[in-house]
Amino acid sequence: MDITQATDAAQKATEGLTPLSPEYVVGLSILATVGLILMWAIFWLATVKAKESIHEILLSPSFFRTVTVMGVIAATVVLSLAGRLEGNITGAILSGIVGYVLGQISTPTQRHAGEG
């Protein structure tokens, strides 16, 4: 597929979408920002209350996985509410995230038992 075909395909895909008002986009952005701030506040309050080492949390690989998952969920929700993602695509992205998260929960012995 060359560039002109890709451009034509992108234009056809966006033809059926109604343009969003700037107020709607701002509202969605504020909603996503408030949601993320609330989630982070709860996370850090729980960390402080449990007397966990913030330094160890920031250096943990699971911390970066959590940040990535939160970012993908926030972007998916905003794009879906903005009408830029269809329901089946949103469902596929969110179910993929759930599968990834649940797959990370299993212990190494459970993973090896499932492979054999």
How confident is the chain (116 residues) per 10-residue block, as mean pLDDT? 56 61 81 86 89 86 84 84 83 89 72 54
**pLDDT number for residue 92:** 92
Confidence at residue 15, expressed as pLDDT on a 0 to 100 scale? 60
Give a three-class secondary structure readout of 22-56: HHHHHHHHHHHHHHHHHHHHHHHHHHHHCCCCHHH
Q: In angstroms, rounded to a whole number, what is the distance separating the alpha carbons of residues 81 and 112? A: 40
Q: What is the pLDDT of residue 13?
A: 56
pTM: predicted TM-score of the whole model, two decimal places: 0.57
Q: Residue 74 and residue 93: Cα distance in Å, rounded? A: 11
What is the spatial distance between Cα 96 and Cα 102, in angstroms, rounded to a whole number? Answer: 10
pLDDT of residue 35: 85
For the beta carbon of residue 52, count every other beta carbon within 10 angstroms. Answer: 12
